[in-house]
Structure 1
Amino acid sequence: MIEEQGRVVALEPGAVWVETLRRSTCSSCSANAACGQGVMERLGVGRERGHVRALSTLHLNVGDAVVIGVREELLVRSSLLVYLLPLLGLMAAALAADAAGLSEPLCILSGLAGLCVSWLLVRWRASRVADDPQLQPVVLRALLAASP
């Protein structure tokens, strides 16, 4: 399970909205001193807050610190679908156009059409499974607040 800490910003029946800080892994990379992305992270560029809807059976209040989790295999499958399928669509359409003997501009347009069709398939699939509880992040536990 991949875990992330956040703060509850809104409540829904059976779910909460959690605000998380988007971070890169630059601090753990050995080349971060010579990397442009590492410099950008140190300057705070690209640090944004994300809002995630997570299922919860816990009694929580707005402002509570929580840990949310996503199953690892779900993240891997989703990444493959989002990144690999459009790339495969682009390549397949371009290669099919080339095999059909079309000119280079038409091969390029075919590749772009394959990319767009694949992207639409990804969007269609995402909309079909958006409400599936098996595919949603969940609140794993609430964190204790520090005493003043």
Structure 2
Amino acid sequence: MIEETATVVAATPDHIWVEARASSACSSCGTQDSCATSSVSKWFGMRRQQLRLPNQFASSVGEQVIIGVEDQVMVTASLAAYILPVVLMLGAAIIADVQGMSDKQQAGIALLGLLLGLLGAGVLTSNRRMNRYFQPQLLRRADTFTLRQIEFKPFTGDTP
């Protein structure tokens, strides 16, 4: 399960709207000061995304909650978004080659296959039944826990 902390920005008795900041991997990297990718990431900024979820914990505005998506959902979404367009593009290019088309025609057919794959991925992930499948779930309230100090005793050898 992939989990993320989100903030409740609006609430009714039935639903809450949560906002999670989409951050890049660069925000946790130690070399982000000298990396060109990090510079580009900072230029585009952080995106905010709001989701509507059932209010099963009677959450209120300002509260921190944990939302999650099953691993299998992420695999399915990745396959739909990345693999389907590429497979259709390659399949269209192979069919165009077998038909004896010119290179320009093959490129055009391959581009058409890619566009059909992207369209198919969009249709697959946006229909009503699949929309519920891809919807993140409200898992729990974010715990505010306290850290307790651990006292370490110096090593004195093998004697207890």
Q: Same fold (TM over 0.5)?
A: yes
| Corresponding position: 1:23 with 2:23 | yes
Q: Which residue of 1 aligns with 2:62?
A: 63
Specify every segment of 5 or more residues in structure 1 that has no aligned partner in the other structure, as ranges: none
State how far apart, in whole Å, the 2-side matches of 1:143 and 1:11 are: 16
CA contact (8 A) 2:65 2:140 kept: yes
Report the counterpart of residue 79 of structure 2 in structure 1: 80
Residue 157 of structure 2 is matched in structure 1 by none
Greater Rg, structure 1 or structure 2? 2
Shift of residue 67, structure 1, vs aligned partner: 1.0
Separation in structure 2 between the aligned mates of residue 103 and residue 117 of structure 1, nearest angstrom: 21
8 Å contact kept, 2:13–2:58 = no
What is the rounded CA distance, in whole Å, between the counterparts of 2:97 and 2:24 in structure 1? 39
Percent identical residues? 33
Partner in structure 1 of residue 53 of structure 2: 54
Q: How many residues align?
A: 144
Q: 1:96 corresponds to which residue? A: 95
- Once the two structures are superposed, residues 45-89 of structure 1 have per-residue CA deviations (whole angstroms, 9 ceiling, x without a partner) of 431212223344111122221111111111111111111100111
Q: For 1:29 and 1:37, how far apart are their aligned partners in 2?
A: 11
The 3 A distance-change label for structure 1 pair 77 and 31 is farther
State the distance in 1 between where 2:2 and 2:76 align: 14
Q: Greater relative contact order (Cα 8 A, min sep 6): structure 1 or 2?
A: 1
- Higher mean displacement: 120-129 or 73-82: 120-129
Moved over 4 A (4+): 27-34
CA contact (8 A) 1:56 1:138 kept: no
CA deviation after TM superposition for structure 1 residue 44, in Å: 6.2
1:44 and 1:103 mapped to 2: Cα distance?
42
